[in-house]
Amino acid sequence: MARLRTEVPGPRSRELAQRREGAVAAGVGTVLPAFVDHAEPGLLVDVDGNRLIDLGSGIAVTGVGNPAPRVAAAVHEQIDRFSHTCFMVTPYEGYLEVCEQLAELTPGGHEKRSVLLNSGAEAVENAVKIARHATGRPGVVVLDHAYHGRTNLTMAMTAKDMPYKHGFGPFTPGVRRVPGSYPLHDGLSGAEAARRAVAAVDRPDEVACVVVEPIQGEGGFVVPAPGFLPALADWCRSHGVLLVADEVQTGFCRTGDWFACEHEDVVPDLVATAKGIAGGLPLGAVTGRADVMDAVHVGGLGGTYGGNPVACAAAVAAIDTLRDLDLNAAARRIGATVLPRLRALASDAVVEVRGRGAMLAVELATAEDAARVAATCHAAGVVVLTCGTRGNVIRLLPPLVIPGELLAEGLDVLEGAIQ
């Protein structure tokens, strides 16, 4: 392919990979060991001059583009004014702007408050802290195939042992895992799956919150059966349990709505966000009902870097970009382009094609199949990721601004690899 100048990874990347071995902890994995020099719309250009088609957005982060012109300008402008004060020491307006935007964009017209953090795991962890404090209950309910992060609490909430939890215990107690909704494998309607889930909770009166990804990410891009989330939300309401939506991967137009919960008109009590929020700068947030959020005592929430001013400036610019370019419509167009093409694939290895908007997946029969398809794509210069509790799912998270011809070219490669 004309986009490639060398094999992938090329000689310069291989040199850097060798240097890395002597400096970077071995526990940090790599999907595609091509070192990046710079990015262009829909492309990552590596140090050997290879132009890789980006169907991963750095795991659903750079939906607005990479670099996104408005984000880059906002970051430059902010970093020249000041880089940090710590919002808890001396505040600044950018933090307020992000919280105001979050209140407006997250589901539900109720009064809301937000706290800003640095990552998705930190957002989920703070959502649980707030839910426990507000309810006075200790329990946390999570689902099979869940992924919520790598801190101690969020490891306990994450389902998959290898690589995320293996050897890292003991984990925090109080986390109860229940079956979710995985229509391909359980054959249940949403209502049936929800009944099965809540039946596995033995003491609802001790549960602070149920934490769900509206479409499961790392666990396999599992889209729950229609009605599952609304039924879970109803159960939560009737038992005084808070519903926390982990929208870290699904948020910010990824699925064709600002948040994936909106698809079924589910209004969570708390929403955890990160990834797509700030065009690549590290930022996470918890947004939720004012009465719940404000239950926590002054000083109970925060952190040195949470809501860093540069990250806030990037988030405001990223949200403006999502809005002005109507990237919800772009995500829907991506889904409408990709799903029929993948569904037309006639291959015994394909078990299911699923997803919504620009969060799309092909479940293959085995992890070996997925690894081989991914390796073929990578060698051809197309960045795809795998996921799934069994590692047998190819996931696509293209930048929402990807040029149509690049998306088509990337799909050609993926289709060829699957065939």
Ligand X SMILES: *Cc1c(COP(=O)(O)O)cnc(C)c1O
Minimum CB distance to ligand X smaller for 71 or for 271? 271
Interface residue with ligand X, options 231, 248, 387, 406 (CB under 6 A): 248
Angle at 148 between CA 138 and CA 395, to 5 degrees: 155
CA atoms within 13 A on the CB side of 88: 12
CB of 148 to ligand X, least distance (A): 5
CB environment 185-204: b (16+ within 10 A), e (fewer): eeebbbbbbbeebbeebeeb
The yes or no reply on residue 246 touching ligand X (CB under 6 A) is yes
Cβ atoms < 10 Å from Cβ of 324:
9
Calpha distance 288→274 (Å, rounded) = 15
Interaction residues for ligand X, span 130-159 (CB under 6 A): 147-149
Interface residue with ligand X, options 62, 106, 119, 126 (CB under 6 A): 119
What is the side-by-side order of every strand in the sheet holding 270-273? 112-117, 284-289, 270-273, 242-246, 207-212, 139-143, 175-178
CB of 348 to ligand X, least distance (A): 30
Calpha distance 368→370 (Å, rounded) = 5
- Give the nearest residue (CB) to ligand X: 120
CB of 202 to ligand X, least distance (A): 26
Minimum CB distance to ligand X smaller for 51 or for 148? 148
> Could you tell me which stretch among 185-193, 198-206, 245-253, 371-379 binds ligand X (CB under 6 A)?
245-253
Q: What are phi and psi of 136, to 5 degrees?
A: 70, 20
Interface residue with ligand X, options 249, 273, 328, 392 (CB under 6 A): 249
Report whether 358 contacts 331 (CB < 8 A).
yes
Minimum CB distance to ligand X smaller for 274 or for 374? 274
Minimum CB distance to ligand X smaller for 245 or for 350? 245
Partners of 212 in beta bridges: 245
Q: What are phi and psi of 348, to 5 degrees?
A: -65, -25
Q: Angle, to 10 degrees, between the axis of helix 93-105 and the axis of helix 309-324?
A: 40
Calpha distance 49→42 (Å, rounded) = 15
Report whether 25 contacts 362 (CB < 8 A).
no
Interface residue with ligand X, options 10, 56, 107, 120 (CB under 6 A): 120
Minimum CB distance to ligand X smaller for 132 or for 148? 148
Report whether 302 contacts 115 (CB < 8 A).
yes
Interface residue with ligand X, options 121, 223, 330, 361 (CB under 6 A): 121
Report whether 247 contacts 212 (CB < 8 A).
no
Minimum CB distance to ligand X smaller for 151 or for 337? 151
Minimum CB distance to ligand X smaller for 143 or for 411? 143
CB of 273 to ligand X, least distance (A): 10
Residue for token pair 């060698």:
379
CB of 275 to ligand X, least distance (A): 6
Minimum CB distance to ligand X smaller for 124 or for 342? 124
Q: Considering CB under 6 A, how many residues would be counted as binding ligand X?
A: 15
Interaction residues for ligand X, span 195-224 (CB under 6 A): 213, 217-218
Minimum CB distance to ligand X smaller for 149 or for 256? 149
CB of 177 to ligand X, least distance (A): 15
The yes or no reply on residue 274 touching ligand X (CB under 6 A) is yes
The yes or no reply on residue 255 touching ligand X (CB under 6 A) is no
Residue 94 is encoded by which pair of tokens? 């950018």
Cβ atoms < 10 Å from Cβ of 299:
7
Minimum CB distance to ligand X smaller for 275 or for 356? 275
> Could you tell me which stretch among 197-205, 229-237, 243-251, 317-325 binds ligand X (CB under 6 A)?
243-251
The yes or no reply on residue 128 touching ligand X (CB under 6 A) is no
Applying CB under 6 A, the residues found at the interface with ligand X are: 119-121, 124, 147-149, 213, 217-218, 246, 248-249, 274-275
